Chain A
Amino acid sequence: MVEKLSLNQKIEKLDAEVEWFYSDEFELEDAVPRYKEAAKLAKEIEKDLNELKNEIEVLTEDFSK
């Protein structure tokens, strides 16, 4: 079962793909499928960014006492 990545993990993974494109390990044959995967990841990141919300809870504790 594929573990669901957090937003930060997805960004790190995309960063790693960019690094590969700049690295000596770059191979043209692998580049196109990797680019397609990266584009898919970028789209997921955009979706996650749009949906990201904070949870704000005001404590009921009374700090005046």
Chain B
Amino acid sequence: MTSNNSFSSRSHSRLSLQGSFEQASRWSPRSENELFDAFSPTEFISVVNQTLEYAYSSVMIVGEVASFKVNQGKWVFFDIKDEEASISCFMTLWSLRVPLEDGMKVVVRAVPKLTKWGKFSLTVSAVQPVGEGSLKKAYEMLKKKLTAEGLFDAAKKRSLPEDLTKLGVISSTQAAGYADFVKIMNARWGGIKVQVAHTQVQGMDAPDQIIRALRYFNERAEVQVITILRGGGSADDLACFNDEALVREIAGSRIPVITGIGHEVDESLSDLAADVRASTPSNVAEMLTKNRAEVSSEISRMMSRMRQILIQQVEQAMDVNRDKVARISRGLVVKYIEPMLESNKAKMTQLLQKIRGEVTFFTKALQDKLKLVEALNPEKVLRQGYAIVSGKISLGMLIKIITMNNEIEAEVKKVKERK
């Protein structure tokens, strides 16, 4: 409701005059002028709402859900309470992006107001479960609902392109997860054009920002893949990735989406809706890119294999040629060398025989000569009992007589001729 200027001016003057509650309770109208300056209920409610809007344009309140209901399929009513107080809450169903039920602990972002019936309530713009128990409950409820709708069907998943050249990134550029992703991607590969949409990645505003970024990339269709990145955090930190509208936007993206949210154990509904889920932002970089070190090693292996094959083939060819040469050589030997050798062998044999013959002949001749020499050997004569006499044979002369065993010196006593 908006107020006109006359209400505003009277509201300020009245409020400044009102003072404390005690003063107001002692007040009573003393003149018609004072009655003329009094608020009507409508005016007063308007004044109060203006004041509330000025003082609390947006307030965050944590409490437990009670009396949750949906009217006419459009309006959501519940109370948010603690041990001592309770405030009514109202919101539209399309603003409700997580399932709620009584007992869940939630945080609401709302504007307080007074209804025209004088009832104080909160007009809620966003609500999110808080605490592990409530978050888990909301997660399970929404997962069941969206699974039944087929949002997470495996058949809908698309694979990532092999040759990635254009990538859309949705993340907080100040976050560690983003920094890790960039570091790993740059180390592993290059040649990729990356457009980065800086958004919040936790808190109530995160889902809408990520949705806008998804629509930005889908409308322009300039990238081949969109990745949503967020490093590790608590269940509350990661709760935005279980926002229904965000999950539906991811599932409906025309461009394939890969998520890298939290750690391996943190599975969000956004992960289930995405085409591919990586365990961490770093893992996204690993899944999207080749590793240049591995490619380099593979190139070396390919060259090594070609070298081996080449060497093997050359050696085989050499073996084949060696055989050929051997065969040819053998052929030549058989045809020319062996006959030549055979012919020479015959000649050699003849020569040898001739030499042997000569040797035999001369050996025999030598032996004959030796026998002759032996026969003329004086020792042989002596062994037969004869003696050798030497010296002048005349009377009175000394002569030497040699027998087999002695040498005798004798004087010639008598000489007589033999007849």
Say yes or no: is B185 at the interface (Cβ < 8 Å to chain A). Answer: yes
Choose among A14, A39, A53, A59 the residue that contacts B191 (Cβ–Cβ < 8 A). Answer: A53
Q: Is B194 in contact with A28, judged by CB distance below 8 angstroms?
A: no
Q: Is B185 in contact with A54, judged by CB distance below 8 angstroms?
A: yes
Choose among B194, B213, B305, B317 the residue that contacts A54 (Cβ–Cβ < 8 A). Answer: B194
Q: Is A38 in contact with B306, judged by CB distance below 8 angstroms?
A: yes
Residues of A near B209 (CB, < 8 A) are: 63-64
Contact string, B299-335, partner A, CB cutoff 8 A, digits 1/0? 1101101110110011001000000000000000000
Residues in B185-218 with C-beta less than 8 Å from chain A: 185-186, 189-200, 205, 209-210, 212-213, 216
Chain A min CB distance to B122 (Å): 23
Report if A59-B195 is in contact (Cβ < 8 Å); known contacts: A38-B303, A49-B292, A54-B185. Answer: yes
Q: Is A52 in contact with B191, judged by CB distance below 8 angstroms?
A: yes
Report if A54-B189 is in contact (Cβ < 8 Å); known contacts: A49-B292, A61-B216. Answer: yes
Q: Is B313 in contact with A28, judged by CB distance below 8 angstroms?
A: yes
Residues of A near B295 (CB, < 8 A) are: 11, 45, 49
Report if A64-B205 is in contact (Cβ < 8 Å); known contacts: A14-B302, A17-B306, A32-B310. Answer: yes
Contact string, B16-49, partner A, CB cutoff 8 A, digits 1/0? 0000000000000000000000000000000000
Say yes or no: is B398 at the interface (Cβ < 8 Å to chain A). Answer: no
Chain B min CB distance to A22 (Å): 7
Q: Is B194 in contact with A53, judged by CB distance below 8 angstroms?
A: no
Chain B min CB distance to A5 (Å): 13
Choose among B196, B303, B306, B317 the residue that contacts A56 (Cβ–Cβ < 8 A). Answer: B196
The distance in angstroms between the C-alpha atoms of A18 and B306, with both chains bound, is: 6
Say yes or no: is A2 at the interface (Cβ < 8 Å to chain B). Answer: no
The distance in angstroms between the C-alpha atoms of A63 and B205, with both chains bound, is: 10
Q: Is A59 in contact with B196, judged by CB distance below 8 angstroms?
A: yes
Say yes or no: is A55 at the interface (Cβ < 8 Å to chain B). Answer: yes
Max chain B CB contacts within 10 Å: which of A26, A59, A61?
A59
Residues in A6-63 with C-beta less than 8 Å from chain B: 7-8, 11, 14-15, 17-18, 21-22, 26, 28, 31-32, 35, 38-39, 42, 45-46, 49, 51-59, 61, 63
Identify whether the interface residues of B are mostly helix, strand, loop, or mixed.
helix
Measured CB to CB, the nearest residue on chain B to A50 is: B292
Chain B min CB distance to A33 (Å): 11
The distance in angstroms between the C-alpha atoms of A49 and B297, with both chains bound, is: 12
The distance in angstroms between the C-alpha atoms of A64 and B216, with both chains bound, is: 13
The distance in angstroms between the C-alpha atoms of A63 and B299, with both chains bound, is: 43
Q: Is B317 in contact with A28, judged by CB distance below 8 angstroms?
A: yes
Say yes or no: is B163 at the interface (Cβ < 8 Å to chain A). Answer: yes
The distance in angstroms between the C-alpha atoms of A56 and B178, with both chains bound, is: 12
Residues of A near B313 (CB, < 8 A) are: 26, 28, 31
The distance in angstroms between the C-alpha atoms of A22 and B317, with both chains bound, is: 16
Measured CB to CB, the nearest residue on chain B to A27 is: B313
Measured CB to CB, the nearest residue on chain B to A10 is: B299
Residues of B near A63 (CB, < 8 A) are: 197-199, 209-210, 212-213, 216
Q: Is A55 in contact with B193, judged by CB distance below 8 angstroms?
A: yes
Say yes or no: is B125 at the interface (Cβ < 8 Å to chain A). Answer: no
Choose among B191, B300, B307, B317 the residue that contacts A7 (Cβ–Cβ < 8 A). Answer: B191
Residues of A near B198 (CB, < 8 A) are: 58-59, 63
List residues of chain A with CB under 8 Å of any chain B CB. Answer: 7-8, 11, 14-15, 17-18, 21-22, 26, 28, 31-32, 35, 38-39, 42, 45-46, 49, 51-59, 61, 63-64
Apart from A18-B306, A53-B186, A54-B186: 20 A-B pairs, beta carbons within 8 A: A8-B163, A28-B313, A28-B317, A32-B310, A35-B306, A35-B307, A38-B302, A39-B303, A45-B299, A54-B189, A54-B192, A55-B192, A57-B196, A58-B173, A58-B196, A59-B197, A59-B198, A61-B216, A63-B209, A64-B199
Complex A-B: 14 CB contacts under 8 Å: A7-B191, A11-B299, A18-B302, A18-B305, A18-B306, A26-B309, A28-B317, A31-B310, A38-B303, A42-B302, A49-B295, A55-B193, A59-B198, A63-B212
